[in-house]
Structure 1
Amino acid sequence: MEGQDLTKGSIRKELWSLAWPMMLSVFFYTLYNLVDAFWVSKLSAEAIAAVSISQITLFVMISVGFGITVGSGVIMSMHIGAKDQQEAERVLGQSFVLAAIAGVIFGTIAIIFRRELLIASGANGLIFEPALEYFTITAGGSLLFFILITIMFAFNAQGDTFGLTKLFAVSTLINTIIDPLLIFGWLGFPRLGISGAAVSTLISQAIFIVIALRSLSSKHRKVRFHFRNLSFKWQSVKKVLNIGIPAAFTQVIFPLGLAALTFITTLSFLEPGAIAFSLGFRIEFFAFLPAAGFGFGAMAMIGQNIGAGNIERAKEAFHKALKYGFLCAAGLGVFAALFATNIINIFTEDPIVTQYARLYMWTVALSYGFLAAMLIEANAFQAIGRSWPGFWILLLKFAGIALPLSYVLTQIFNFPIISIWLSIIAGNVIASGIGYIWISRTMNKFRIKDAPVHAPIH
């Protein structure tokens, strides 16, 4: 059978078997944008700027997509743990309906207001038209993206993250091959320019979905996809949205918080400061890999064990996921700090940007473990059906600590740029610490009857 029964066996082995393929999946998904950026950069500077600006708004779509669909994955994993295959399959079918509705709504709004959204993102002059061209096609394919994310959580709920990795690897390879063919018109294909990058991404996503649905329909699956389960039952959808809506808000906090920090950095340190911060955050992506791997792994394990009525095993899964995620991210942070200059010189040779970015790596990188812990804590709250605490933890990091502290230190006391970097560290450490106390107390008080899915009580 494809997938894992996460209610028994070694927690350590199961967490690692879930985590490393999920890390690879997230990495492969990120390559979509990197491949687009690489080939589009060969067109013109305006073209690559257009893609970058378009992706500001599209990142919000990604955040909303992750947030809404995470609820389906949590509810599904609980039914799997409760050995209720029929209900798990019904939730799976319903999750596609919900994703389709959300994708159509988001895509329609994005296309109607595409000019306003791009202007708000900073598109102007020679950048505006190519940005509009790229954004219109990508936003028009929102339906595909929302279904893709639903599939991602469906595989995760069943403990089949390795199957997911293979899908992302194939899809990314297809995108890498098709991109230059459609952008430059090679081998007789039409030359679509910047539109070719958007079209190739949609094609690769469509192929991903077709292969994934075939896999989910396989008789070897514990939980199978059936067209007859494409339904909409409000009582069940309500459970999904109770988890998904606050999770979506939680996801949106990150791009908004980063934009606000960039603005504050620019006030005193102008373009070099903003570039250094952007560079530092891009490198910080690697700290998100352990957070995603162990966070989503913990989500599946906690969900299945809550469904099976095994709260103690769910608690143990959380604590081990937190430990492994923290140590992996902290290790990456130490590596980034030790080789800061070498890493930064790959991207820039500007002396001021290098100086600012090096300070970032020597300080913020050492808090990567706390950043990963904070995200895993938010995932654990979602896994037990309570997403709002994760929202408040991330809001505390940005609005409660990092933003006001960095503003006061630089604008009122005129401290150097390192004060912003230290404010970010304070946000990571304090928010993750409060998050740990909160989730630990919540799980200690948690009872089976508190779960969205009422599993048998042992």
Structure 2
Amino acid sequence: MKYLNQLLSEVVKDKLFFRSMLSIALPLALQNLIQSGLNMIDTLMIGRLGETEIAAVALSNQVFFLLVLILFGITSGASVFASQYWGSRDIKGLRESLSLSLLLAGGAGLLFTSGAVFFPRFILSIYSKDPEVIRLGSSYLRIVGMSYLATSVTFSYAASLRSTGRVKLTTAVSGISIAINTGLNFLLIFGIGPFPALGVRGAAIATVIARAAETIVLITFIYRNRYPSALSLDDLLHISRAYIRKYFQTSIPVILNEIFWSFGITAINLVFARISTEAMASFSISDTISKLFMIFFFGTSGACAVMVGNRIGAGEESRAVYYAHAYAILAPALGLLMGIILFPLSSLLPLLFNISADAKAGVTSILRVLAFFMPFKIFNWHMIVGILRSGGDTRYSLYMEAGGIWLIAVPAAVLTGLVFHLPLMVIYAALSVEEIVKFTFGFSRLKSGKWLKNVIS
């Protein structure tokens, strides 16, 4: 406790730490605010059509959710190397990490596009037995799947830019994307002026156009300004076997982490979908709202990864440890503050949606439980994404994440939701117990110092 008090006092006075954190965290938070705002606008617009439409799009987006988490695993694994390469100013290594990331992410994007375009009904039938949800969802998924390759390319470049501290560009490009998507949503969902009212298909078309524009603008700026991430064809074709071997040794746990976690979240979504379409709508809306309240922490966890990884790459390990401990103190404190803000708003936010009274009550109950677990959730987020991964301790982060969701969260959701048929608040509270367990293991690992590994040496 004496050490924590001393460290907290030192961090509060450290202007350089806060300046470095905010210079990275604020653009990243703004970027995620834009993205979450886009999701909120999509949900609000589609929500005007009804609960069935919300459920159809929410279930269809589970495919995109799986892809994003796999992409996050691929690019996070590359970022472990990229941030440390940038710390030592090794441009060749930085480009090598981006090249392999692009090839792997592009392959994943093409695979998911094939599934979404050719087998949408089969995929959605895994989640729901409601024929109307499957019909509407299939029409959405078949179109929106065409955006997955562009998303894969954007993910790879954005992760590389983030590792070098260049986050303002990706934020600006995301702003362009949401402007295009929001405008086209309004025109194509409801049919304004000469545009036809296409409903959920209109939302899908808007997404495809916005994602394509986002990718084109991002790549154009990177190459026009000759950023370190501007690859040549030679970079893509000549990736050393030594790097490929190192990448997979470090990154396979990250990719498996995201796969296990994504399938765990999919299983939890499946539980809510099997309870009822109304329960799925409540969970989907709560998830969208919760992301808005955690926007700033997307930024701070990203800043943590960059700052810790750069210092390890530069050989300043004591500074890396200091940064890690500083974030471990600040994260749960800010999470507690956010939980206090969220709790009273939990009964007001559902009023924004055109859903039944029971669905609104479900959203409120889930958000109140989330408010309680917020400090633990935010600590774990920074620990896994910001500290363990940037420190090269990817195997331990896999054990923490996969163990938490598959040994605690999924069984708790199945038992409380499908076996005992308990209220939504109890179901969500039971599956959230994993956050407390992960907090315990994460804090212990941080104290041990075993998380710090230089992967480029």
TM-score (norm. length: structure 1) = 0.83
Native 8 Å contact 1:18 1:159 kept in 2 = yes
Inter-CA distance 132–346: structure 2 relative to 1 (3 Å threshold): closer
Letter aligned with residue 452 of structure 1: V
Whole-angstrom distance in 1 between the partners of 2:84 and 2:62: 34
Superposition deviation, residue 273 in structure 1: 5.9
Match for residue 17 of structure 1? 23
What amino acid does structure 1 have at the position aligned with 2:403? L
User: Which residue in the other structure is 2:242 paired with?
Assistant: 235
Shift of 1:202: 2.2
What is the 5 A alignment of 1:53-452? 53-122=59-128, 124-183=130-189, 186=192, 188=194, 194-219=200-225, 221-233=227-239, 234-261=241-268, 276-347=282-353, 357-379=363-385, 380-405=387-412, 419-441=426-448, 444-445=449-450, 450-452=453-455
Question: Offset at 1:357?
Answer: 4.8
User: What stretches of structure 1 of length at least 5 have no aligned partner?
Assistant: 1-7
For 2:73 and 2:199, how far apart are their aligned partners in 1?
A: 32
Give me the whole-angstrom Cα distance separating, in 1, the residues matched to 2:64 and 2:135: 17
Cα deviation digits, residues 165-213 of structure 1 (max 9, x gap): 1111111112112333445665656776543322322222222222222
Q: Does the C-alpha gap of structure 1 residues 322 and 169 become closer, same or farther in structure 2, counting only changes over 3 Å?
A: farther
Unpaired segments ≥5 residues, structure 2? 1-13
- Cα distance between partner residues in 2 of 1:179 and 1:350: 24
Q: Is 1:33 matched with 2:36?
A: no
Closer, same or farther: CA 156–415 of 1 in aligned 2, 3 Å:
same
Q: Secondary structure at the match of 1:217?
A: helix
Q: CA deviation at 1:272?
A: 6.5
- Structure-2 change in CA distance of 1:406 and 1:150 (3 Å): closer
CA contact (8 A) 2:51 2:278 kept: no
Rounded to whole Å, the distance in 2 between the matches of 1:353 and 1:216 is 45
Q: Sort the Cα spacing of 1:302 and 1:350 in 2 relative to 1 into closer, same or farther, 3 A.
A: same
Change (3 A) 1:232 1:360: same
CA distance in 2, matches of 1:420, 1:191: 38
Residue 3 of structure 1 aligns with which residue?
A: none
Q: Give the Cα separation in 2 of the matches to 1:118 and 1:355.
A: 26
Q: 1:388-445 CA distances to partner (integer Å, 9 max, x unpaired)? A: 322221233333334445666788889776544443443212211211212442xx24
Structure 1 residues 47, 155: closer, same or farther in 2, change over 3 A? same
Deviation at 1:91, TM superposition (A): 2.9
Q: Distance in 2 between matches of 1:387 and 1:53?
A: 30
Deviates more, 1:232-241 or 1:331-340: 232-241
Cα distance change of structure 1 residues 246 and 290 upon mapping to structure 2, 3 Å threshold = farther
Alpha-carbon shift at residue 371 of structure 1 (Å): 0.4
1:49 offset after TM fit, Å? 3.9
CA deviations 1:338-374 (Å, max 9, x no partner) are 3332234444785655555544444431220110111
Shift in Å at residue 222 of structure 1? 5.0
Partner SS, residue 383 of structure 1: coil
Do the aligned partners of 1:94 and 1:229 also contact (CA within 8 Å) in 2? no
Residue 441 of structure 2 aligns to a residue whose secondary structure is helix
Could you tell me how far apart the structure 1 residues matched to 2:332 and 2:324 are? 12
Distance in 2 separating the partners of 1:279 and 1:129: 21
CA contact (8 A) 1:82 1:308 kept: yes
Determine the C-alpha separation between the residues in 2 that align with 1:210 and 1:418: 43
Q: Give the aligned CA root-mean-square deviation in angstroms.
A: 3.4
The structure-2 alpha-carbon separation of the partners of 1:90 and 1:367, relative to structure 1 and needing over 3 Å to count, comes to same
Match of 2:456 among 442, 453, 457: 453
Helix, strand or coil at the partner of 1:341: coil
Aligned residues: 442
Render the CA deviation track for 1:48-85: whole Å, top value 9, x for unaligned.
Answer: 44322211222111111111121222211111111112
Equivalent pair of 2:286/2:367 in contact (CA under 8 Å): yes
CA distance in 1, matches of 2:195, 2:44: 19
Q: Indicate if the aligned counterparts of 1:23 and 1:289 stay in contact, CA closer than 8 A.
A: yes
Does the 8 A contact of 1:243 with 1:382 survive in 2? no
Partner of 1:4: none
Cα 1:223–1:57, aligned 2, differ >3 Å: closer, same or farther?
Answer: closer
Between 211-220 and 15-24, the greater mean CA deviation after superposition: 211-220
TM-score normalised to the size of structure 2? Answer: 0.83
Indicate the percent of aligned positions where both proteins have the same amino acid.
20
| SS of 1:304 mapped into structure 2 | helix
Distance 1:50 1:446, change over 3 A: closer
**Which letter does structure 1 place at the counterpart of 2:456?**
V
User: Which amino acid is 2:214 matched to?
Assistant: F
CA-CA distance at 1:153 after TM superposition:
0.6
Residues 141-185 of structure 1: CA deviation (Å, up to 9, x unaligned):
321111111122112101122222111111111211233344566
**C-alpha distance in 1 between matches for 2:236 and 2:327:** 34
The 8 Å contact of residues 48 and 354 in structure 2, kept in 1 or not, is answered as: no
